[in-house]
Chain A
Amino acid sequence: MEPNTPRRAGLMLVSPLMLVLLLVFIAPVLMMLPLSLREYVAGTGISDRWTLVNYTQILTDDYYREVVVRTLQLGFGVTLICLLLGYPLAYYMARTTPRIRFALTMLVIFPMLLNLVVRSFGWIALLANRGLVNNLLIDLGLLERPIKLMFNLTGLLLGMSHIFLPFMVLMLVPTIQAIPRDVQAAAYTLSASRPRVFWSVTLPLSAPGILAGSILVFVLTISALVTPRMLGGPTYKVMATLIYDDFLQTLDWPSGAALSFTLTAMTLVIIGLSSRLAKRWGGQS
């Protein structure tokens, strides 16, 4: 309530940042739109003609369809694994003593802060044909030759679940903490069994956190570049790595641009749907 503060001061404080965002964020993204509608001719480059083929090929061309489907599979798979692993850990953290919770929080945050490339490299060291897992299993006599854990869906699922698990956990803990303990206690006194109480009381009450965590992990997974590239190699592609190749290897910028907008649209749709859901459930997203 400070009407004596001129609006001028507010504008002066906000404009520098808004100017930067306009010039280095909004403008570039908008300018990629016409690029995505241009035709690309292999060998000669970007022609002057307008076309929608960059978008239509995503739906019609088998190769592109496969990449998109794989990206979505990865998204759902990673989200599911993160939920299955993350919920028990989050529950424990939410209900334990503050000291233990603090220690565990630090242990969850630490890998999150580590360089993404380093973490992905760690998985390479684990999953490669001459990596730790294969060497260990061969030394123990359980395997004769290494199994292919990289450059396929398995490797990506493992690696990315590990990368994004902390996000899921950190979103779930506050939600579970917010469930009043006496709600559970009340359910017990009504002679419900433990599994029953979990399914009909605890789980529904953690729904907002589950939704928020799942959306976050899903969006991060389908947008990811580094881990899929490092663990999937140049041939096993997802949408983000395909965009990478389009812009830096094949130089088919129009196609890359169209893919970029498609990926962005997918992200926005998912976030939009989830916040509608969250509102319906009366939770926060």
Chain B
Amino acid sequence: MISFSAVSKRFPGGKEALRAVTFSVTDSELLFVTGHSGAGKSTLLKLVAAIERPSSGSVLVNGQNVGALKRRAIPYLRRNLGLVFQDQKLLYDRSVYDNVMLPLAFSDHPPREAARRARAALDKVGLLARERANPIQLSGGEQQRLAIARAVVNRPSILIADEPTANLDIDSADRILEIFIAFNRVGVSVLIATHDLALVERYATRVLRLTEGRMLGEGVAE
């Protein structure tokens, strides 16, 4: 599903964000990527979504070599990924419902099916009652849940989240993680980057530790 093989990423100016990182994520797997700020977690996720390209090594996502993908093929790769960011990247000029409808606008679903999917996604994250609200009216936790609803509305096979619980209180963070785990239980591979080790330790799952762009180790949180 996701396979990194000796992947390095060097940015213009010489900063090396990732150094020879090798790991893989299989179907229906939940993987936390941890490390301090600047360890390379976000860069790793961006490589999966083809937001960045590897400087060396290979990144395979659903069998596609991200480094060799043509520009016009990238949107189709991203349609099979659900992306959730720390800053949510919501659009504040439209309603909660319209934010979730956005990925469905370029899918081939008939309007009625698209509306049904959008409401189902909002229902799963507990925001159906707020569908007419503007995202600015939502709390931080609700905005993050809205970002998750938008990420899953096209039923992606892989869900990627970059610091999804940052700036949230413990209850909201737990609720967000429960949502990710619920999607993982129904077969979605989930890759979550977080610096919050206390959060990770609550789930007995695989953890990839990064420091200064290098893999420090891999193990199971306890």
* A and B associate: no
Which positions in B face A, CB cutoff 8 Å? none
Instruction: Tell me the A residues contacting B by CB distance below 8 Å.
Output: none
